[in-house]
């Protein structure tokens, strides 16, 4: 059974638990970061097929920018043409690289993971506060590199984070390759 929601909560529990262990800060920081990113990956994919690396996150994340979808469709057309009319798989499109070996997509968070990281490590958020924040703001978006260049760099301020995507002209949509769980 793919109970991804339980996995997200378990990973958030691990992140919070690390802050209670009186660990050296650099080790606690690393464990909290990895746990929050893994929770975000599962939350963003809405399944447990995703693993904690860029290739997998690109393949499984359901929220994309409109520009990233346009680029996805362009790549799909190009690969279909190269393959004599045979359409590529979703994975082949997300793993496509240009002549320089670069992917056209990257993974970004409108509300940086720095916010909950500081929340649990510095501001002593409860586990429930962490869960509430992550379930509301912890989802990643697949965007293009030009969008990423327009994006305000990381911030720990919620008011600034709330304007990061709109200031960069990034509009998010659910990728058509995935069933929208909000429609169920």
Looking up tokens 């720095």 gives 114
63-65 β-sheet, strand order: 105-109, 140-144, 63-65, 172-174
Q: Are 117 and 32 in contact (CB under 8 A)?
A: yes
- 3-state SS of the chain: helix, strand, coil percent to 5? 55, 10, 35
Residue 154 — pLDDT band, cuts 50, 70, 90? confident
pLDDT more than 70, % of the chain: 96
Residue 182 is predicted with a pLDDT of 53
């Amino acid at each position: 059974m793919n109970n991804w929601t339980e996995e997200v909560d378990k990973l958030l529990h691990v992140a919070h638990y690390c802050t209670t262990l009186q660990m050296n800060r650099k080790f606690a920081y690393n464990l909290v970061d990895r746990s929050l990113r893994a929770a975000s990956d599962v939350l963003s994919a809405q399944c447990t097929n995703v693993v904690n690396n860029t290739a997998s996150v690109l393949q499984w994340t359901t929220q994309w920018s409109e520009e990233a979808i346009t680029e996805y469709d362009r790549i799909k057309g190009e690969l279909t043409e190269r393959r004599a009319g045979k359409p590529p798989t979703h994975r082949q499109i997300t793993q496509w690289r240009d002549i320089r070996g670069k992917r056209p997509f990257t993974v970004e968070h409108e509300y940086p993971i720095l916010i909950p990281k500081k929340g649990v490590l510095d501001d002593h958020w409860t586990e429930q506060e962490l869960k509430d924040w992550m379930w509301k703001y912890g989802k990643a978006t697949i965007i293009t590199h030009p969008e990423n260049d327009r994006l305000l760099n990381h911030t720990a301020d919620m008011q600034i984070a709330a304007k990061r995507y709109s200031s960069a002209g990034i509009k998010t949509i659910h990728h058509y390759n995935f069933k929208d769980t909000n429609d169920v």
